[in-house]
Structure 1
């Protein structure tokens, strides 16, 4: 097994693939390096002596500058390295040579079984969506969820409820001492205990009814109120959604009319069922909820008539996301997503690369990859605008790495970003999308979202993702209500430690047992079956329905 790796020939830093000890002599490409300290796996040591102010290069780009002298064989850390990145500009744009697409002959005639919508898009799932236009209706949304879920066969595992009931019985029988004797178990180890698929579903062709809550809709700026309407409209247009129930109080800023106008701007021929209930018009809560339950049930009976039928792989829209990243993210799982993205683009599908704060340092490369000047200008404008908002709040993209990221080797935002950008592969950038905008053509698209896991996945789904591929080195349960989120581990230790959240393991790349290209092809096969309804992701099994609208203040 290879013990170290230089990611790019121009790099002056090497990554430890295993724990290395002080005093070891590491040989890489016929060059010897004596380690001056322990180098844990995922961390890096320099290959050239650096003086204060000297540049550190990784992934072939500037990722930081030395804050003090760093000797050959010494580990980089927040103590000796600070974030830095190359400036970027459309004026420096140098269009790249014609893209060499990967060979996709084996997939050209492949299909998945999806839900066809009248606008020509195809969903990988068939959900009914229940949303509140304002936070005042959150309680009623949760009441509807309690009323529908178990009755329709979408209820969650009763393992935790049974545990609480057992503890109550023990407490009544023998007090707290009896409770302390209870032996806790881990029902998540056997995922079958969390799988709701063994419950009898009333509607065979409806994959679920999803209930969203949020903290917006009133007491906010007009811009944020309109942005919420746009977000819900984008979700309504997502091909994984077949019908929508909307609850409104009546006096809030985000109006039903705003929602309808946003829907029509995205799809003038929109024909999915929309049910609208306004509490101040009904009078009592019970009158409104009773009407909502009846009409939603009728809508579900109609949605159940839609069945899966074959669709080409070009109908897929896949979001590319990372979170809980580690020092292996940019050399195993993220490049796997990048190659899969290239495969899907070659098949005329769509991929969505988000998280603008995590593109810091690779902006010029992405500007060069833009197919036209208009996309390049839009990307530069959005990046600079986002950075300026952060700076106005005494923040910056350099603050993006979390404590967990740093502990596992992502010392600067530019190191994190250069690795994160690997998810975008090598294909040209077809277009640049602002929050809630939809892609119009096949290809790779950049989507403006924060790096925050849920804000990003919420935004990717709004831009039409029907599957999200999510790499992680530290582990996160993040999911989405209507878009399946596939959790992909960068290392096998994580996959073994957290089997209840990891769907796919790329750790074999680190061990030298497989290649990025082979894992990407395996992952594409997984996606085809997932899109056909053959699998449920772990986040779906856990009912990890995370949804957070982006109030466009500073979220990094």
Structure 2
């Protein structure tokens, strides 16, 4: 008989519907009092107002009114409340997974002077301030198409076809666009060892707080020192808050022996805009010649730094995709690699577990200090972590932040926490690293790459067209319906866990295999092929 519900932890008092359930059905001896949509939850027992609801063995909310056994759990009868947390109760060991299949495996990566290994080879062009965005766009237009990195503009061709059809008097409702083959990968023919030139325009560098500019400089230093970056071109206006000197100091801190090609152009010092642009294009071209000499060579899996993230989550994310990524993360941690778990607003309610897994009291204290400060900054403007779930999350079964967080944290697996990082700090220690970022998807991926992730796994239950300019992003769907509906953005379907076709361990193993292929350049993630190059620095304001 097909399983229709699941109770995730024996101590839970709610069930998750694996399919649409109807009022009056008997499920596990419980008569349903209401319809229960797929991915949503229903009560295992009667709840009085104030009673706590449990999922994943954790508190995920409390009843705001009486709830009958077999009744649908909704935002109308449940309010957010999360587990409290206090001092560390150390967990000294963890059950490492069997890594025998991967112990002698390697990937083909780009070895950098600082000892790190890239999974790609990019050149980066970035402004120190938004005033230079237009000049960055000029360089982009000058280089991409001529060097073979600009994919065929499908939608421009579509518009031209519409114009032709209109002029020919065709019925546009019956018009069918004949798509031509495109260079979606954007692989340059002149420089075959360079994966692309990335242009990181942004809205910062001046006009905000000095702290914003300082953090932007630190983030840009992380990107330019990143193992996936071969070299960089920087445009500075000259008078902005984000001074080149601040950036250089940040870069020195990230990599004291930095030796990649780096070209900086100050418009106010040079004077003539045309002169600056010609110099920048010429020097960038020379840098590309140098960067093209880099080739892929074998590297052990300990050189992988996996960033994990979820976006557009649903009621299945914490049951299929996230724990599968978590098992992959545990495999990599056991192999000596690094894993970065971010999105601090989506760790609400699992703080105690993470505190206990920290390898020292100092790390636990750092995590608590950052998490508490973040929560208070949200509350100070009338918000809070409880406001994190989006309308899409709620519609698909994630009705409280504690429920969402309990599932989101599964991406980090079960290993010990080897380090705690504030935004822009670099991951340098093998094992699980906690990185403070918002739950906002683009700000999170931007931060993960900035702290050294050279590959990102992004789980989604609703679908999310997002990537990163320098770090390949793999999309993992939590359910089969999404994988089929949005096959153009999904790389692998963890919905097979829901249907029972794969175990979490089998799916996690498949994910590590895909990670190795991606790191070697043998597999191009859909986000890379579609040019999803999202870059949004966090300004440390309240972003959930």
Change (3 A) 1:443 1:286: same
| C-alpha deviation, 1:194, in angstroms | 6.2
| C-alpha deviation, 1:48, in angstroms | 1.1
| C-alpha deviation, 1:172, in angstroms | 4.0
Runs of 4+ aligned residues of structure 1 deviating over 3 Å after TM superposition are 170-174, 184-187
Could you list the per-position Cα deviations for residues 299-322 of structure 1 after superposition, in whole angstroms to 9, with x for gaps in the alignment?
Answer: 000000110000000000000100
Say yes or no: does 1:160 pair with 2:148. no
Alignment of structure 1 residues 466-505 onto 2, 5 Å? 466-505=454-493
Paired residue for 1:305? 293
Paired residue for 1:271? 259
1:437 paired residue among 408, 417, 425: 425
Secondary structure in 2 matching 1:62: strand
Paired residue for 1:533? 521
Secondary structure in 2 matching 1:339: helix
Paired residue for 1:55? 52
Paired residue for 2:42? 45
Could you list the per-position Cα deviations for residues 256-284 of structure 1 after superposition, in whole angstroms to 9, with x for gaps in the alignment?
Answer: 11111000011111111110111112222
Q: Are the equivalent residues in 1 in contact too, given 2:165–2:175 (CA < 8 A)?
A: no
Paired residue for 2:124? 129
Q: Are the equivalent residues in 1 in contact too, given 2:327–2:505 (CA < 8 A)?
A: yes
Q: Distance in 1 between matches of 2:300 and 2:58?
A: 38
Secondary structure in 1 matching 2:471: coil
Given the two structures, how large is their TM-score scaled by the length of structure 1? Answer: 0.96
Q: Distance in 2 between matches of 1:100 and 1:543?
A: 39
Pairwise CA RMSD: 1.3
Say yes or no: does 1:110 pair with 2:105. yes
Paired residue for 2:339? 351
Q: Distance in 1 between matches of 2:542 and 2:176?
A: 41
Q: Which ranges of structure 2 fall in alignment gaps of 5 or more residues?
A: none
Say yes or no: does 1:196 pair with 2:185. yes
| C-alpha deviation, 1:387, in angstroms | 0.4
Paired residue for 2:449? 461
Q: Which moved more, 1:160-169 or 1:386-395?
A: 160-169
| C-alpha deviation, 1:147, in angstroms | 1.1
| C-alpha deviation, 1:186, in angstroms | 9.1
Q: Distance in 1 between matches of 2:415 and 2:489?
A: 30
Q: Are the equivalent residues in 2 in contact too, given 1:194–1:541 (CA < 8 A)?
A: no
| C-alpha deviation, 1:179, in angstroms | 6.5
| C-alpha deviation, 1:295, in angstroms | 0.3
Paired residue for 2:215? 227
Paired residue for 1:368? 356
1:515 paired residue among 485, 490, 503: 503
Paired residue for 2:33? 36
| C-alpha deviation, 1:181, in angstroms | 4.0
Q: Are the equivalent residues in 2 in contact too, given 1:153–1:196 (CA < 8 A)?
A: no
Q: Are the equivalent residues in 2 in contact too, given 1:55–1:62 (CA < 8 A)?
A: yes
Q: Which ranges of structure 1 fall in alignment gaps of 5 or more residues?
A: none
Paired residue for 2:165? 170
Q: Distance in 2 between matches of 1:5 and 1:440?
A: 39
Q: Are the equivalent residues in 1 in contact too, given 2:129–2:206 (CA < 8 A)?
A: yes
Q: Distance in 2 between matches of 1:253 and 1:491?
A: 46
Paired residue for 2:414? 426
Q: Distance in 2 between matches of 1:54 and 1:39?
A: 21
Paired residue for 1:236? 224
| C-alpha deviation, 1:170, in angstroms | 3.3
Q: Are the equivalent residues in 2 in contact too, given 1:167–1:179 (CA < 8 A)?
A: no
Secondary structure in 1 matching 2:457: strand
